[in-house]
Chains A and B, each alone.
Chain A
Amino acid sequence: MSIAFGTDEWAQALVAEVNGSSEYRNSAQKWGSDFNGNMLFAFESDEALPDPVNLLIRLKEGTCQGAEFVSESTHDEAGFVLRAPFTLWREILERKTLAAAAILKGKMKVDGGKMTLLKHTAANRVLIHCTASVETDFPGE
């Protein structure tokens, strides 16, 4: 059953998806071990998303310790922020665009250590995959 994007129910579904992924558990073993691995996905408003949406995901060593939608596109607990227009996020979540490619081409902005992200490309690719795996009702659908 699809869950409305931006709701607490959706955030909890993401937590379950990540923690149920052996792919994430293995590829992210070192993610957040000696740095703040919490991610904030900033879905910037565009023609498909009237108001911006920000998702904070608490990540450490292959586990997701919580997720919630927050009001601002910055957050004290976030170690990294990935910013992109909602339409680009949709392309990424629908696997039409690789997140790593979007970051490397500068289409997706990164706040935080870009080299750390690159050194953990596989972990973050799986995180995106988990996000894409949540059955979602996106705005405008």
Chain B
Amino acid sequence: MDRLYSPLQGRLDGVVYTPDQFVNEHHTNYGRIHFWTPRFVVDPKTTKDVQEVIRFAAENNLHISTRGSAHSQSQLGISDGGILLNMASMNQVISLDEDNLTIDVEAGMVWRDLVHHLKKWDLAPRVLTNNLGVTVGGTVSMAGIGVASFLFGSQGDNVVDMDVVTGAGDIVTCSRTENSELFWSVVAGLGQSAILTRATLNLRRTKKMTRTYYLVYDDIRKFMVDAQHMMDSGKWDYLESWASPCPQGTKPVNGRRQVFAKWFFPFHPTVEFDPGDEPDDKMMLEGLDPYDCIYTDDIPTIEFHERLVPIFELWKAAGTWEHMHPWMELVLPWETAADYIDQVLPDLPPGILIGGHILLWPAKGNVSKSLNFMRPEGENLIGFGILPAVPPKFWDRVKPLLDTASMLGSAMGGKRYLSGYINFTEDEWVEHYGDRWPEFVAAKKKYDPHNLLNPGFIKYGNALKEQG
């Protein structure tokens, strides 16, 4: 038995696991790119437990990695020889304030559970990610983007206040007005300064039903004209879009013939309504110029929130859920987005989308106030993501393609979304954060002075020493 097991377990209400008790999931995350073995996995029960783990780590020269649903794909949610803090064990609703439209939850709350909890009041979080099987603490630490982000920003923007335990072991309540520096360090902060244990979230009232229009575009520039029109119209509650291949045959790419596709751009604007007050289709689609309107779909709002569950279930059934997921997502300036997409999609083999997809998000640049969620300047932005499921034997082929797409995106003014496959050098980390980098590093130094939290992802180089 590990000599530190009993001292650690003795300080906690939660449970400590040793390697002989680990399951496969403790060694990796959704990316299945990195495989690390922690020394302990801890299921904390309370904020005090989290504080005790941090103190114990400091006393024993251990580091701590936090894990929600471990949907990250790089070196987050896993631990190499340290303590893996499984925040999913703190997953309770604390209280609902229906008057102020807020809810207080523990950080390990899974969004899907929260959505179901709120259903009977016709309430929902303002922003939901496509995959609801992730935790509040996880996505707030990343940013948390979804189909309503063009209206409400990131999930991090919709936190009213939160309790965190800093890397120094202090339990602190923070908000935009109270300990605001720490608040903005934690929002999209990748768990570098503190561990989020409780959050109060903004909610919105929902209508009973949604109507989704299944539009499709054959030209990215026409798509963008209508996307801007939709974002500015005030008509829509949700905007979701994709790039979808229609395979044409094979062509040479780098001398090797591969399947290539004509890419289409499905666009699914959605509006909520109550039965008896159905939307006027003509009015909703006025001014738009899609290649086709294929279908309209009315479903209960709760089912809309869970619209991707059947797809995820299919991926699981097909086995691709177990493949590598080196997702490459970035936010592009409106001005370069079409040119970028023109360069990336034509040579992308449609086959890498088996068990994955290509995302497009029309977004507003000024809605999010998050300081650590880096995005390009500009009123309008486009999110773009290549989200493949890659059998390990094809990784050598896919990796250069994704690396090049990432570098090209950065060169064209884009900013990577950091939950995916990130292969940044030290210089690229500095470039990613730009003017924010000194403050990001300063917050790390201030709130995690012993550099305990979530090591191995951000390459600080000598930055922590230089500023200290």
- Residues of A at the B interface (CB closer than 8 Å) are 21-23, 26-27, 95, 98, 100-101, 104-105, 114-115, 118-122, 125, 129, 133
Q: How far is the CB of A121 from chain B (nearest CB, A)?
A: 4
Nearest B residue (CB) for A99:
B404
The distance in angstroms between the C-alpha atoms of A121 and B411, with both chains bound, is 12
Q: Is the CB of A26 within 8 A of B254?
A: no
Nearest B residue to A106 via CB reads B427
Closest B-chain residue to A27, C-beta based?
Answer: B346
Per the 8 Å Cβ criterion, residues 116-156 of B in contact with A are none
> Is B410 within 8 A of A104, CB to CB?
yes
Chain A's nearest CB lies how many Å from the CB of B26? 35
For A26, what are the chain B residues with a Cβ–Cβ distance below 8 Å?
251
Using a CB–CB distance below 8 Å, which chain B residues touch chain A? Answer: 251-255, 336, 339, 342-343, 346-347, 400, 403-404, 407-408, 410-412
Report chain A residues within 8 Å CB of B407: 100-101, 104-105
**Closest B residue, CB atoms, query A30:** B342
Evaluate contact between A22 and B254: CB separation under 8 angstroms.
no
Give Cα distance in the complex from A115 to B346, angstroms: 19
Output the least CB separation between B333 and chain A (Å): 11
CB closest residue in chain A, given B255: A129
User: Which residues of B lie under 8 Å from residue A120 when comparing CB positions?
Assistant: 343
Query: Please, which residues of chain B bring their CB within 8 A of the CB of A101?
Result: 403-404, 407
Least CB distance from B396 to A in Å reads 13
Sample 7 A-B pairs with CB under 8 A, ordered by A number: A22-B251, A100-B408, A101-B407, A104-B410, A120-B343, A125-B254, A129-B255
Complex CA–CA separation, A96 to B342 (angstroms): 25
Q: Verify B254–A95 contact, CB threshold 8 A.
A: yes
**A118 touching B411, Cβ below 8 Å:** yes
Residues of A within 8 A of B252 (CB): 21-23
8 Å CB contact of A100 from B336, B346, B404: B404
**B342 nearest in chain A by CB position:** A119
Asked if A119 contacts B339 (CB within 8 A), the reply is yes
10 smallest A-B Cβ distances: which pairs?
A119-B339, A104-B407, A121-B343, A23-B252, A104-B411, A122-B343, A118-B411, A100-B404, A129-B254, A98-B404
On whether the beta carbons of A122 and B346 are closer than 8 Å, the reply is yes
B404 partner residues in chain A, CB cutoff 8 A: 98, 100-101
Residues of B with C-beta under 8 A to A100: 404, 407-408
B255: which A residues are within 8 A, CB to CB? Answer: 129, 133
State the CA gap A109–B350 with chains docked (Å): 33
Q: How far is the CA of A121 from the CA of B400 in the complex (A)?
A: 14
